[in-house]
């Protein structure tokens, strides 16, 4: 079994501006810069044969390169159930089409469809029972986040595994756009 997801890597020049924002929530597990990405499709644990089928389907995706911008911040969950804070992504039809193409490729490879609404974001920290006022203060302090545009000319298939510091990722395959 291998745990997989597809994502867009964040360029170093964009990612370097995010760590200064990673403070202010007690107990937060802030993600390292090398883990910054925008998930297109979470796959989960699959057999190696399914992973090979998925790779073949992803290779068939034809989509243009496009520009993205990080914009705003947010969180997943409510109250003490807040479990992540993130940097948002400015609305982009090309990103949505690419995410949909990844979802379709996964279905053609025999995977179950995603039931959650796609919310493009870059996870900055995972939280466990945070103080809601701290999260609210962090959101207020960072809500004007806005990166310069960056070019997306590829996406990747990543494997993931848990370590005592959090999840670690490895690029397994890369797919050009444009």
**Count of domains in the chain?**
1
pLDDT digits (tens, 9 = 90+) for 2-11: 999 999 999 9
CB neighbour list of residue 132: distance below 8 Å, 6 or more residues apart: 79, 80, 82
Whether 25 contacts 140, CB under 8 Å: no
Query: Which residues are known catalytic residues?
Result: 37, 121
pLDDT digits (tens, 9 = 90+) for 111-139: 999 899 999 999 999 999 999 999 999 99
Band of residue 58 on the pLDDT scale cut at 50, 70, 90: very high
Distance CA 137, CA 5 (A): 31
**Average pLDDT score over residue span 145-162:** 96
pLDDT of residue 165: 72
**Encoding tokens for residue 1?**
């079994």
Domain limits at 53? 2-176
CA-angle at 70, arms to 35 and 28, nearest 5°: 45
Which residues, in sequence order, are bridge partners of residue 7?
39, 156
The CATH number covering residue 83 comes to 3.90.1140.10
């Amino acid at each position: 079994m291998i745990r997989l997801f597809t994502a867009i890597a964040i360029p170093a020049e964009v990612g370097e501006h995010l760590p200064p924002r990673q403070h202010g929530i007690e107990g937060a597990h802030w993600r390292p810069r090398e883990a910054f990405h925008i998930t297109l499709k979470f796959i989960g644990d699959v057999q190696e044969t399914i992973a090979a089928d998925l790779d073949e389907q992803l290779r068939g995706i034809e989509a243009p390169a496009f520009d993205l911008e990080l914009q705003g911040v947010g969180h997943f969950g409510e109250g003490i159930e807040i479990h992540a804070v993130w940097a948002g992504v400015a609305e982009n039809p090309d990103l949505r089409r690419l995410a949909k193409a990844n979802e379709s490729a996964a279905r053609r490879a025999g995977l179950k469809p995603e039931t959650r609404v796609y919310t493009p974001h870059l996870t900055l920290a995972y939280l466990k029972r945070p103080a809601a006022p701290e999260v609210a203060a962090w959101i207020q302090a960072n809500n004007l986040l806005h990166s310069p545009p960056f070019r997306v000319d590829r996406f990747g298939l990543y494997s993931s595994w848990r370590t005592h510091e959090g999840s670690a990722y490895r690029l397994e395959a890369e797919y050009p756009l444009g």
